[in-house]
Amino acid sequence: MCRHPRDAFMLGARWIRIPPIYNYQEFEKAFKQDIPDYIILDNLSQKEGKQQSIDHLFLILREKGEIEKLKYYEKDNSGQDYRKIRVWIYERTENGGQKSEVGGRICRRDVPVPITDVGLRRAVIFSPLSPPISHFPFKGPGKGAKVAWKFKAGHEIFSSPVVTGEGLVIFGCDDSNIYAITKKGKLKWKYRADYYVSASPAVSSDGTVYIGSDDQHLYAINRKGKLKWRYKTGYYISSGCSIDKKGNIIFGGEDGFIYCLNPAGKCLWKYKTGGEVIGTPAIWGGGGFQTGGESGNNDVVIATCGDGNIYAISNNGKLIWKYKTEGGIISSPAIDRDGTIYTGSRDGYLYAVKKNGNLKWRFKTGGEIVSSPAIGKDGKIVFGSSDGNVYAVSRVGKLYWKYKTGFKVESSPAIDSKGNIYIGSHDRHVYGLSGKGNLLWKIETGGAVYSSPAISADRAVYVGSMDKYLYKIK
């Protein structure tokens, strides 16, 4: 049971959404009144032969003398001839004029998926059409990292934490509770399910926590820890959830179904696979699939399954294609900028599959791959294997490096803004590695680490262990 970071982060409490901007004049108009503290540029493109880039924005800021205060994050979505530029602006909070940045993390065992509504109180919203790049926009802890605190839960922790916009760290536990912990390590609230909670949470823009349980229910819990609704499936839920651009919740069940629920908990569709669905489905909205789905909505759900297949499902729950590996799949899919799908299989291979469902390449390791791949900003695909190694391979399937831990690696990596990698091992350690595969630090816990780390804006890593503790490392 492993998890995977999501490309998510939260910012201040006041924000302005700017419509799609296509040219320099529209940039000028948009920023005529105020210069924001934060900006995200998403899906840079060409239109009518004009190359759009952040240089346009920088020119405006330079003229206004505002260049120093802007913090920006860029998501360059390549692989298509035409895309809009979507821009979101985030201003200072009204609470004492202080900006607020906290980390975000979603998924279980898991892959990053495009983010729509994540976090609390005016969360940052990445376009759901953006393909996921599996890194956090924050620096993680470097050399000399230590345990800042550890919180004792009632049982083993398989679940991976998510850090919300209010700074709460939320995770599930095999004591049947969902916990919300402050960044100082104090209990804020907990909600008790009817059985183990080994899945990892997803958090919507209104603060709703979505998480599955082995009691066969998906829970929707409000920001105060109170139940909004729960939805009954046919068996355990180990999968994490993905949230699409309409706020619909997509997840897998060990009853073999992929589910799509609306925010009120009504099932919109479900698709029957040939085995248990433990990995978290990913959502691809970059086009290139013949979906046959809802008009004007080109979202495609990519899911992995214990029957060994990778499934591509349209937004109305119809099969587009499936690709068969030689082993069962627990690893969740990660989707690259060009739509290439990466996932591990219990046959020991990491697979790269094209948007049309054909194999691009596969990379052999010495053990089963339960860990889910993370795609770094530099294009490295990083994942763990049951042979005890952490691997980094290129987009053409060539090995960059591997790092040997003391035992199986079924945790999934988190990659920070510098390319550093954080991952757990069954040898009881959490590892910090450089982008070149060199050890920065390792910290021993009291049990195997299945949980995958989350990185927050204050350069901390949160991760659970089988010793019943949630750790903050900084």
How far apart (Å, rounded) are the C-alpha atoms in residues 282 and 389?
25
Mean pLDDT confidence for 450-474: 93
Q: Is residue 101 part of a domain?
A: no
What single letter denotes the amino acid at residue 187? L
Indicate whether 164 and 65 sit together in one domain.
no
Q: Is residue 370 part of a domain?
A: yes
Q: CA separation (Å) from 244 to 5, 8, 91, 181, 297?
A: 17, 14, 25, 26, 11
- Across-strand partners of 352? 342, 361
Indicate whether 79 and 140 sit together in one domain.
no
Share of the chain above pLDDT 70, in %: 69
Q: Give pLDDT, residue 4.
A: 30
Indicate whether 25 and 155 sit together in one domain.
no
Question: Residue 175 contacts by C-beta under 8 Å, 6 or more apart in sequence?
Answer: 153, 154, 155
The model's confidence at residue 76, banded by pLDDT at 50, 70 and 90, is very low
The model's confidence at residue 266, banded by pLDDT at 50, 70 and 90, is very high
How far apart (Å, rounded) are the C-alpha atoms in residues 135 and 378?
10
Mean pLDDT confidence for 366-391: 94
Indicate whether 36 and 156 sit together in one domain.
no
Indicate whether 389 and 254 sit together in one domain.
yes
Lowest mean pLDDT among 5-19, 199-213, 306-320, 391-405: 5-19
Instruction: Judge whether 461 and 453 are in contact, CB under 8 Å.
Output: yes
The tens digit of pLDDT for each residue in 180-214 reads 999 999 999 999 999 999 999 998 888 899 999 99
Mean pLDDT confidence for 426-432: 97
Q: Is residue 116 part of a domain?
A: no
Mean pLDDT confidence for 422-450: 96
- Domain limits at 405? 136-473
Max mean pLDDT among 10-19, 163-172, 412-421, 432-441 falls in: 432-441
CB burial class (10 A; 0-12, 13-18, 19+) of residue 64? exposed
Share of the chain above pLDDT 90, in %: 60
How far apart (Å, rounded) are the C-alpha atoms in residues 345 and 244?
26
Indicate whether 339 and 270 sit together in one domain.
yes
Structurally, the chain folds into a number of domains equal to 2
Indicate whether 190 and 253 sit together in one domain.
yes
The model's confidence at residue 391, banded by pLDDT at 50, 70 and 90, is very high
What single letter denotes the amino acid at residue 369? I
**The whole model's pTM is what?**
0.74
Q: Give pLDDT, residue 138.
A: 76
Indicate whether 64 and 197 sit together in one domain.
no
Indicate whether 62 and 165 sit together in one domain.
no
Domain boundary among 84, 102, 120: 84
Q: pLDDT averaged over the chain?
A: 76
pLDDT at 144 over 60: yes
Phi, psi of 209 (to 5 degrees): -95, 125
How far apart (Å, rounded) are the C-alpha atoms in residues 314 and 302?
9
Q: Give pLDDT, residue 456.
A: 85
Lowest mean pLDDT among 48-57, 196-205, 267-276: 48-57
Residue 309, classed as helix, strand or coil, is: strand
Q: Is residue 121 part of a domain?
A: no
The tens digit of pLDDT for each residue in 293-348 reads 453 457 899 999 999 999 999 999 999 999 999 999 999 999 998 899 999 999 99
Q: Is residue 11 part of a domain?
A: no
How far apart (Å, rounded) are the C-alpha atoms in residues 238 and 216?
9
Phi, psi of 57 (to 5 degrees): -65, -40
Indicate whether 428 and 291 sit together in one domain.
yes
Q: Give pLDDT, residue 166.
A: 79
Indicate whether 144 and 71 sit together in one domain.
no
Q: Is residue 129 part of a domain?
A: no
The tens digit of pLDDT for each residue in 214-243 reads 999 999 999 999 999 999 999 999 999 998
Q: Is residue 113 part of a domain?
A: no
Q: Residue 21 CA to chain centroid, in angstroms?
A: 27
Q: What is the CATH number of the domain that holds 179?
A: 2.130.10.10
Q: Is residue 140 part of a domain?
A: yes
Indicate whether 217 and 341 sit together in one domain.
yes
Q: Where on the phi/psi map is residue 144: left (φ > 0), alpha (ψ -120 to 50), or beta?
A: left
Residue closest to 373 by CA, chosen among 381, 364, 385, 363: 381
